[in-house]
Amino acid sequence: MGVCLLGLGLSLGEAQEGGHLSVEAAVPLGRLSVSSFRPGVGQEVWVEVPYAGPFPAQPDWAGVDEDRGTLARLVTQAPGPVTVRAFGLSATLEVQPGANRGPLPNPSAPARALPFVSEHCEDPRLPQLSGLWAIGCDGDYTSRAEHVFSGEQVALQGAPARPGLGGGALYGAGPQDHGLWRPPSVVSSPEAHRVPEEGIAPPATDGVTGALSVADAVWVFELEGRLRESLRARPAPWMPPAVAGPWVAWVELGESWLFGEDIYVRHKDWREGAPLVRRVGSQRHVAASEGFVGWIEDEAVCVESFETGERRCVAARPGPSRRLSLWGPVACWEDYSGDDIDVVCSDGLALRRPGHQRGPSRIGPWLLFREGNQTLLATAEWIVLDDDDLRAAPRGATLPDPLALRGARAEGGVTYSLSMPPGEFTVERRVGEAWVPGEVVRGGGVAQIDAPHGDAVRLRGAQ
Amino acid sequence: MTPRTERLGGQLAAVGALALLVAAFALDPSPAVSPDAVPRAARGLAGALIWALAATGLGGAILGSTSLAGALFLGSGVLGLALFGLAWAGLFSGPALGGVAVAASCGWLLRPRIERPTLDAAGWAVALVCGAPALINALAPPTDTDEIYQHLAIPAQLLHVRGLLGGLLHPDASRPIPVHTLYAAAMSFGGEPAPKLLHLIWGAVGLHHLRSLGDRWLGAPAGGAAALTLLGSYTFARELGLAYNNLPAAWWGLLAVEAAVEGRRKELAAYAGMALACKYTAAPVVVAAYLIAWRGLGLRAVPTMAALTLGALAWVVPYWVRNAAEGMHPLFPYAGWPGAEGIVFTYNERYGVGRGWLDLLLLPWNMVVHAETTSYKFLGQVSPVGLLALPGMALAAWSRPAARPVLAAAALAFVGWAAGPHWLRYLLPAAPLLGLAVGAAATALPSWGRAVLVAGGVLGLPASWGPWLGPTAEEAAVVVGAAPREALLKERVPGWGAIDYINKYTESDARVALLFSWPGYYVERPYVLGSVEDHVPARHLLLTQGDAALTTLRALGVTYAVVGEVRFIKKTFPFLDDERFRREFTEPEAALKELLLKEGTVVYEEGRYAVWRFPDGSP
Residues B399-449 pLDDT 10s: 999 999 999 999 999 999 999 999 999 999 999 999 999 999 999 999 999
Using alpha carbons only, give the angle B317, B318, B322 rounded to the nearest 5 degrees. 115
* Within-domain flag for A368: yes
Q: For residue A12, what pLDDT is reported?
A: 36
B466 touches chain A (CB under 8 A): no
Cβ of A319 and B597 within 8 Å? yes
> Do the beta carbons of residue B148 and residue B157 sit within 8 Å?
no
Instruction: Clarify whether residues B399 and B327 are in a common domain.
Output: yes
Cβ of B605 and A124 within 8 Å? yes
* Within-domain flag for B364: yes
Cβ of B601 and A122 within 8 Å? no
Substitution target from A122, A238, A251, A286 for chain B, most B beta carbons within 10 A: A238
Q: What is the residue range of A13's domain?
A: 2-95
> Do the beta carbons of residue A262 and residue A255 sit within 8 Å?
yes
Instruction: Clarify whether residues A363 and A394 are in a common domain.
Output: no
Measure B600 CA to nearest chain A CA, in Å.
6
Q: For residue A461, what pLDDT is reported?
A: 85
pLDDT at A447 over 50: yes
* Within-domain flag for A78: yes
Cβ of B606 and A253 within 8 Å? no
Instruction: Clarify whether residues B507 and B448 are in a common domain.
Output: no
Cβ of B504 and A341 within 8 Å? no
Closest CA to A203 of A182, A180, A178, A172: A172
Element (H, E) at B167: none
DSSP β-ladder status, A128-130 and A111-113:
unpaired
pLDDT at B459 over 50: yes
Alpha helices by DSSP H, listed for B167-301, are: 178-190, 193-218, 222-231, 234-240, 246-261, 265-278, 283-294
Tell me which chain B residue has its CA closest to the CA of residue A261: B603
Q: For residue B617, what pLDDT is reported?
A: 45
Instruction: Clarify whether residues A199 and A326 are in a common domain.
Output: yes
Closest CA to B532 of B556, B514, B512: B514
Cβ of A237 and B607 within 8 Å? no
Q: Which of A123, A237, A322 sits opposite B602 (nearest CB)?
A: A322
* Within-domain flag for A254: no
B533 touches chain A (CB under 8 A): no
Instruction: Clarify whether residues B436 and B508 are in a common domain.
Output: no
B510 touches chain A (CB under 8 A): no
Instruction: Clarify whether residues A436 and A454 are in a common domain.
Output: yes
Instruction: Clarify whether residues B151 and B209 are in a common domain.
Output: yes
Total domains in chain A come to 3
**Cβ-based contacts of B562 with chain A (< 8 Å):** none
Instruction: Clarify whether residues A152 and A238 are in a common domain.
Output: yes
Count Cβ atoms within 10 A of the Cβ of residue B353 and give its class: 0-12 exposed, 13-18 middle, 19 or more buried. middle
Cβ of A237 and B501 within 8 Å? yes
Closest CA to A431 of A417, A449, A452, A414: A452
Residue A434, CB half-sphere, CA atoms under 13 Å: how many?
3
In DSSP terms, A371 is beta-bridged to: A357, A374
Q: Which of A257, A320, A341 sits opposite B596 (nearest CB)?
A: A320
* Total Cβ atoms within 10 A of residue B207: 28
Model ipTM? 0.80
Instruction: Clarify whether residues A235 and A135 are in a common domain.
Output: yes
Instruction: Clarify whether residues A130 and A231 are in a common domain.
Output: yes
Cβ of B505 and A257 within 8 Å? no
**Cβ-based contacts of A320 with chain B (< 8 Å):** 596-597, 600-602, 612
* Within-domain flag for B397: yes
Q: Where are the beta strands (DSSP E) in B263-414?
A: none
Better-scored residue on pLDDT, A117 or A9: A117
> Do the beta carbons of residue A101 and residue A408 sit within 8 Å?
yes
Grade residue A8 by pLDDT with cuts at 50, 70 and 90: very low
**CB proximity list for B12: less than 8 A, separation 6 or greater:** none
Grade residue A118 by pLDDT with cuts at 50, 70 and 90: very high
* Within-domain flag for A266: no
Cβ of A298 and B615 within 8 Å? yes
Find the mean pLDDT for residues A281-289: 95
Q: How many Å apart are CA A113 and CA B318, to the nearest integer?
A: 62
A153 touches chain B (CB under 8 A): no
Q: Where are the beta strands (DSSP E) in A114-182?
A: 128-130, 133-136, 144-147, 153-155, 164-166, 169-172, 179-181
Q: For residue A78, what pLDDT is reported?
A: 94
Closest CA to B271 of B196, B178, B406, B164: B178
* Within-domain flag for A301: no
Total domains in chain B come to 2
Percentage of chain B modeled with pLDDT above 70: 99
Using alpha carbons only, give the angle A376, A382, A388 rounded to the nearest 5 degrees. 115
Residues B317-342 have pLDDT tens digits of 999 999 999 999 999 998 888 877 66
* Within-domain flag for B34: no
Instruction: Clarify whether residues B449 and B538 are in a common domain.
Output: no
* Within-domain flag for A358: yes
DSSP β-ladder status, A292-297 and A262-267:
unpaired
**CATH at residue A43:** 2.60.40
Question: What are φ and ψ of residue B181, in 5° steps?
Answer: -70, -35
B606 touches chain A (CB under 8 A): yes
**Cβ-based contacts of B501 with chain A (< 8 Å):** 237-238
Interface of B with A in 580-599 (CB under 8 A): 596-598
* Within-domain flag for A273: no
pLDDT at A67 over 80: yes
CA distances from B546 to A336, B542, B579, B586 (A): 20, 5, 18, 14
Closest CA to B450 of B461, B460, B438: B438
Q: For residue B347, what pLDDT is reported?
A: 85
Percentage of chain A modeled with pLDDT above 70: 95
DSSP β-ladder status, A128-130 and A133-136:
antiparallel
Question: What are φ and ψ of residue B398, in 5° steps?
Answer: -80, -40
Measure B462 CA to nearest chain A CA, in Å.
31
Q: What is the residue range of B559's domain?
A: 493-613
Instruction: Clarify whether residues A367 and A406 are in a common domain.
Output: no
* Within-domain flag for B528: yes
Closest CA to B185 of B172, B194, B177: B194
Cβ of B505 and A236 within 8 Å? yes
Q: Which of A236, A319, A322 sits opposite B605 (nearest CB)?
A: A322
**Cβ-based contacts of B602 with chain A (< 8 Å):** 320, 322
Pick from A67, A95, A123: which residue ends a domain?
Answer: A95
* Within-domain flag for A281: no
Instruction: Clarify whether residues B61 and B150 are in a common domain.
Output: yes
**CATH at residue B576:** 3.40.50
Q: Which of B505, B597, B605 sits opposite A253 (nearest CB)?
A: B505
B600 touches chain A (CB under 8 A): yes
Residue A238, CB half-sphere, CA atoms under 13 Å: how many?
28
pLDDT at B391 over 70: yes
Grade residue A3 by pLDDT with cuts at 50, 70 and 90: very low
Cβ of A320 and B601 within 8 Å? yes
Residues A387-442 have pLDDT tens digits of 989 999 999 999 999 999 999 999 999 999 998 888 889 999 998 889 999 999 98
Instruction: Clarify whether residues B326 and B366 are in a common domain.
Output: yes
Instruction: Clarify whether residues B374 and B512 are in a common domain.
Output: no
Instruction: Clarify whether residues A33 and A126 are in a common domain.
Output: no
